[in-house]
Structure 1
């Protein structure tokens, strides 16, 4: 028998409150239930009785009761009436904490297997605030096309509701893969079918997917030296045998590649990371011939090729590949923003089935809404307009940085000017080394980055690391670029501080500085 409630329920209404009467009654009844004033099983007054008590419309009480029933606080039975639920929703949502009876005996957990994973920590940006940060991996938030993106996003939400309850295609939304295939054909000279494209959560997942297909313990993997350390750390986590290959003023030195025994090569031919050199057509053809002879696959990381400022777009390595040995890695992180987490891996036809299966096992596909919005953004022509606008702005910022460096430092030797969002400054022998100048700049609120601890993975014996600084220009406007270089120049000219004053800063530089592109 459920306990009857013959007393008036203590509810006070404020008719001058901005909260509706319905909301006030709901909150007070819920509070009484959770505080135990209305115990589980207690029958509430009939809606007409409570309405008369409060002097309000019966419909208002009925709506409150319906809401409390819908949220699990009340139940209704014809023969009984409306009563407090015997099991409240908060009870179902909160796990009961178990109390440990006794601590495990010493050594009891020592038999657990060792974790097979290895990986270097991926540090974020330095906590120190910098007034002018020439970080090479950031783009300008103000350039994101908020208004048009919001319009396409709302359109996808209203027209594609079924996607919320359906599993996504592991390879990615077909509409997005189709427009990417069209874009690559025009912009990069790559002729591929949409089936060859796998949508990923940024290029880092694309690297992970390729490594899962091709790398195991002891697999020989060649990389540029220096290279993007997100790639080097990833291959190390698979216990690959890394083989560094030197870079010169024309990119990867193809003649220095091992003659055989390499299963995979990671390369950034369009804008070598971090030095910015471009691999010429002669070396690209030699590289493809090397891969054919060795039976090796190539990962072509084309992370910022949408921004080319001189000449026609270069045909991608995959666009020259007649042997089916190149995997192409693309991303929208530089053109749209890293927070969108959208990238893609283009695989040879022989790897389509394996790549789709690996992606399905990894996460069964990327979230559909951003894919659908990006697909419509490209299809409408808005993406092309956005790229042209950004290319024009970033070209002006690049020119501003070059002009500022040469105004304050003379004939600065620079590389990586043809494309991308950063350049490399090769320091004269009379200057401090790159880590020292980085520390000096940071001491004065300016962020410039040496190779190794600041931007990339250096395997050692790299002739560029000690005397090269990397400066990005995509996240600073022209005024900030000029002001930042002026402050760096002032600090450089007035560097009367003893080296020991910067020793702690140099020693405290992070071992790695991860860039999520």
Structure 2
């Protein structure tokens, strides 16, 4: 697309600098969006009547400062990650009205907030994309699902035209309760379960119930962005607690009362470690002593590859302190937008009322189809099948990393759909490797790009990459890591074998 540049040949500012500043301004002001293709230097030079070398030098400067990126044999695009210093400078140079949006009558105290990155910015553009949290699309049980939908539609009657229980279809809540008892050691029933639109909807429901300005939300360090940013948006005081090789360090829990502690104990997000049984009991004791609640996000506990899973926190809870959050986004797909929350009995009625205020319940047809899939045994067979598939793909990723890279610590590979790779000290920072990989057609991601947030400025946060393996074939995994190794060959030191060690955060 043509760029609306206005160059002044008689200006003391060089043409190269004029191009740089005008393109940079378009990016910072949002007139050029992340991922948008820019004209080639030859096309640009012909468009505005300058030497091609002048355009090329301007592009080189924009690339060096992180505003644009060039992909070999593909083209030049606006970068997805704009330098934070540039965004800060842009905000400071903006007029006051642009820096601080006006508050509407009755608007929240904090009208601006951060949002999680869950939509893949490179979808469909890479040779091998190790994006985190994607089920294998070819494994979705399309034929069975279609048959179940047709069967339900034949007898739907008024189910499609009338409101139903806002807490969710009873058949589905009962099926979930029946599965949680043997698989997660959670003694619950349909009345304690509320169906939600995935984990994020469940987090929103709990936040509306438990958080407000000045409340304390305890999170892991690092933590899933969608939780931390949501808690911030409610005005909560977010307190981070470090994670090590045994999970959340419970000795560092804050001395506060009436808090909500958000944890991912089965497969910590993003590092993948498992919270030890000893620390699970410590966390439960802390919640009881401080009159606090624990929000347990069990997002991918179906996929454990070694040993029996440790009982869920909810299964160990004897004082009604754990709110349990589950989802079908990882086992079936995020497109269904179905998850659930298991509440302690004393919170159930308030949760139902709040869910009614939020959206009057989830769509009936998807709930009914999933209920039938579960009660028929189809869901359990599906989970067993994809668990085996994901184990093979995890093994392929471990083998490829072992083959191509020296050193580095593999973390969190005992379970889940992704693992974390702590880079050797001789490697460049994770953000540089991510960029080099993208240019080579491979998607590997820093903690931030992988929808995690850190609460300190330690350089250690830039020593990790997260790699999802569930949506790639073994062939794609092998080819992707080989291509990554080729792209990083000039900047890596190959002296050591990969190993699995403890996490240091």
Shorter chain as denominator, the TM-score bin is 0.7 to 0.9
8 A Cα contact 2:407 2:423, kept in partner: no
Contact 2:407 2:424 in 1 (8 A): no
Conservation of the 8 A alpha-carbon contact between 1:225 and 1:462: no
2:94 alignment partner in structure 1: none
1:434 corresponds to:
430
> Does residue 115 in structure 1 map to residue 107 in structure 2?
yes
Could you tell me which of 109, 115, 120 is aligned with 1:125? Answer: 120
Q: Distance in 2 between matches of 1:414 and 1:287?
A: 26
8 Å Cα contact 1:405-1:412 kept in structure 2: no
Deviations 1:304-360 (A, max 9, x none): 001111111321000000010100000000000000000001100010100000001
Secondary structure (helix, strand or coil) at the match of 1:163 reads helix
Q: Partner residue of 1:216?
A: 212
1:434–1:111 Cα change, 3 Å? closer
Which sections of structure 2, spanning at least 5 residues, go unmatched?
Answer: 1-100, 493-505
Give the Cα–Cα distance (whole angstroms) in 2 for the partners of residues 146 and 233 of structure 1. 35
SS state of the match for residue 427, structure 2?
Answer: coil
**Contact 2:116/2:225 (CA < 8 Å) preserved in 1?**
no
Distance 1:463 1:320 in 2: 37
Following TM superposition, where does structure 1 have runs of at least 4 consecutive aligned residues deviating by more than 3 angstroms?
Answer: 109-112, 121-124, 461-464
Q: In the alignment, which of 452, 463, 468 is matched to residue 464 of structure 2?
A: 468
**Pairing partner for 1:190 from 186, 189, 201:** 186
Q: Select 1:168's aligned residue among 161, 164, 171.
A: 164
Residue ranges of structure 1 left out of the alignment (5+ in a row): 1-108, 497-517
Matching residue within 237, 240, 244 for 2:240: 244
CA contact (8 A) 1:190 1:319 kept: yes
Which residue is 2:353 aligned to? 357
The separation in 2 between residues aligned to 1:140 and 1:268, in whole angstroms, is: 22
Kept after mapping to 2: 8 A contact 1:449/1:455: no
Judged with a 3 Å threshold, the aligned counterparts in structure 2 of structure 1 residues 400 and 383 are, in CA distance, closer, same or farther, namely same
Verify the 8 A CA contact 1:168 1:367 in the aligned structure 2: no
Query: Is 1:379 aligned to 2:394, yes or no?
Result: no
Is the alpha carbon distance of 1:462 and 1:186 closer, same or farther for their aligned partners in structure 2, counting shifts above 3 Å?
farther
Are residue 255 (structure 1) and residue 251 (structure 2) matched? yes
Summarize the alignment of residues 261-340 of structure 1 with structure 2, pairs less than 5 Å apart. Answer: 261=257, 263-340=259-336
- TM-score normalized with structure 2 length: 0.75
SS in 2 for 1:494: helix
**TM-score, L = length of structure 1:** 0.73
Contact 2:116–2:451 (Cα < 8 Å) also in 1 = no
Which residue matches 2:137? 141
In structure 1, C-alpha distance between the alignment counterparts of 2:336 and 2:134, rounded to whole Å: 13
- Please show how residues 64-83 of structure 1 align to structure 2 within 5 Å: none
Q: Distance in 1 between matches of 2:127 and 2:146?
A: 31
Aligned to 1:405: 401
Task: Determine the C-alpha separation between the residues in 2 that align with 1:247 and 1:295.
Answer: 23
Q: Match for residue 493 of structure 1?
A: 489
C-alpha displacement of 1:179? 0.5
Bigger radius of gyration: 1
Return the offset for 1:460: 1.2
Q: 1:481 aligns with which of 455, 477, 485?
A: 477
Number of residue pairs the alignment of both structures matches: 388
1:495 Cα shift? Answer: 4.5
